[in-house]
Amino acid sequence: MNHEEYRIEHDSLGEMRVPAERLYGAQTQRSLLNFPIGNERMPAEIISAFAILKKACALTNEELSILPSEKASLICEVCDEILSGGLGREFPLSVWQTGSGTQTNMNVNEVIAGRGNQIAGKELLHPNDDVNCSQSSNDTFPTAMHIAAACSLHEHLLPQIDETAKVLRELEEKNKDVIKIGRTHLMDAVPLTFAQEIFGWRGMLESSRSQIETACEALYPLAIGGTAVGTGLNAPEGFAARTAARISELTSLPFVSEENKFHALTSRDALVFAHGALKGLAANMMKIANDVRLLASGPRCGLGEITIPENEPGSSIMPGKVNPTQCESVTMVAVQVMGNDAAIGFAASQGNFELNVFLPVIIFNFLQSARLLADSLSSFRQRCLAGIRPNRAVMEQNLSKSLMLVTSLSPVIGYENAAKIAQHAHKEGLTLKQAALASGLIDEKTFDEAADPKKML
C-alpha cells in the first residue's frame, strides 16, 4: 500500500497499517492478516445481533451513569445504521479466527467507534473503553450467538414452516375424496386417502415447528454481564438484567439474563439442543421430499401416482426428460443440516474450564442450517408442493390391483385364511376377489361389503 492508501492505527501490540477508507482499526486488520483461511465470513446475522447488543449495552451504561449520553447516543446511531443494512463492507473477518470470537467483537467495536467519530467530527468514542464498556468478548459473543439464532428462527424459518403447512392444508382439502393404496416397507399396504397422506406430511412440519419453539426457550437466557469468566468483573450491578431486558425490547423476544453466568460462558448446550430441532425438521423434509419424488416417479415406468411441476429440462442427453429437482435440492439441504449438527455437537463438547473456544464455527453452522431450511421450504413450497396433482387413474388402478385389501377379510374368515387367499392370488395372477371366491371361504356379497376401500379408511 502507498502511504496515501493507508493510515496508522495502534492497539496494545503496537502500530498497524489500515486501509485509509476503512472504518475499522488495528485489531480487525491483524485478524485479516493472521487468518487468511477459507471464504467463509462471519454471518451478517451475527453482525446484526452485535449491533442490537451494543445498542442495548450503551443504553444501560448511560442509565447507570457509566457512559455519557453523547457517547451512548452516538453508539446507538451507528448500531441503527448497521441494522438498516449499512456498513456491510466493514465486517470482513473469517469464521476461522479465535475460538472466542474476540476479533469479531473488536471488529464491531472498532467500526462503531470509527463511524461514530466520523459522524461526530472528533475522536469521541474508544472501541474498548466506550463501545465495549462493561463487556468482554467472552460474554458478548455467546450473547450475540443466542440473539442471532433466536431471531433467525422466528423471523425466517418459522414463517416458512407456517406457509408450507398452509399449502399442505389446501392440498388436503382438494384431495379428500381421492383414495389410494398405502405403502409400508415400500410394499403395498391398506388404503388411505391422498389427503390423509398429505396430513401426515403437514403433521411433520407442525411437530417440527413446536419442537423449534420449545428449543428457543433455551436460547433466551443470555451471557451478557458475565464478562471474562462469569464473575461479572467490571460490569456494574444490574447491568446484566437491564441489558437483557433492552435486548428483549429491541427484538420482541423474551430474552433474560442467565442466572448462572459460568454456565452461560462455557456451555453451548442451548445451541446443541436448538439445532437438534433443526435436524429433526431436516429429517422430516427429507422424508416428505422422498415421498413426493417416489410418488411422481415415471412418468410411465414408475409409480406415477402424482404429477409435479416441470421446472427445467432434466437431462443433457435424454430429450424430454424432467427430474424432481426441487426434491433433490431439499434432500441435499437436509444432508448439510445433519452434517452441521455433527459439527455443532463436537464443537460444543470442547469447552475447557471457563470458556468454549469453538464459538464461531458453532454459530456459522447453526445460522447456515436455519437459512438453508427456510430457503429450501420456500422454494419447495412454491415450485413443487403447490403444483402437486393426483393421477386419479393410476391411483385407482393400483388400488384395484392391491392384494392388501385382504386385510379387511381377517375379521370375517381369520388371518391365516386371508393370508392363503392373498398368496394364492399373487402366485396365480388372480384378482383378490377371484382368489377369495375360489377358496369357498366367503361369498361374493360378503366379499364386496368387507373389501370396500371406502370402508377401510
pLDDT tens for residues 34-81? 999 999 999 999 999 999 999 999 999 999 999 999 999 999 999 999
Mean pLDDT to the nearest integer, 419-433 = 95
Give me the pLDDT at residue 351, please: 83
Domain 3-133: top CATH class: mainly alpha
Domain boundaries, the chain: 3-133, 148-173+195-221+261-391, 403-456
Q: What is residue 2's predicted lDDT score, i.e. its pLDDT?
A: 52
Q: What is the CATH number of domain 403-456?
A: 1.10.40.30
Across the range 187-215, mean pLDDT stands at 98
Q: What is the CATH number of domain 148-173+195-221+261-391?
A: 1.20.200.10
pLDDT of residue 204: 98
Read off the pLDDT of each residue in 102-109 and give the average, rounded to a whole number.
Answer: 98
Share of the chain above pLDDT 90, in %: 96
Q: Label residue 349 by pLDDT band (50, 70, 90).
A: very high
pLDDT > 70? residue 352: yes
- Looking at residue 3, its pLDDT comes to 53
Mean residue pLDDT of the chain comes to 96
Cβ-contact 127, 90 below 8 angstroms: no
Question: For position 223, what pLDDT does the model report?
Answer: 98
Flag whether pLDDT at 4 surpasses 90.
no
Entry pTM:
0.95
So what's the pLDDT on residue 291? 98
Would you say residue 93 has pLDDT above 70? yes
Catalytic residues: 185, 315
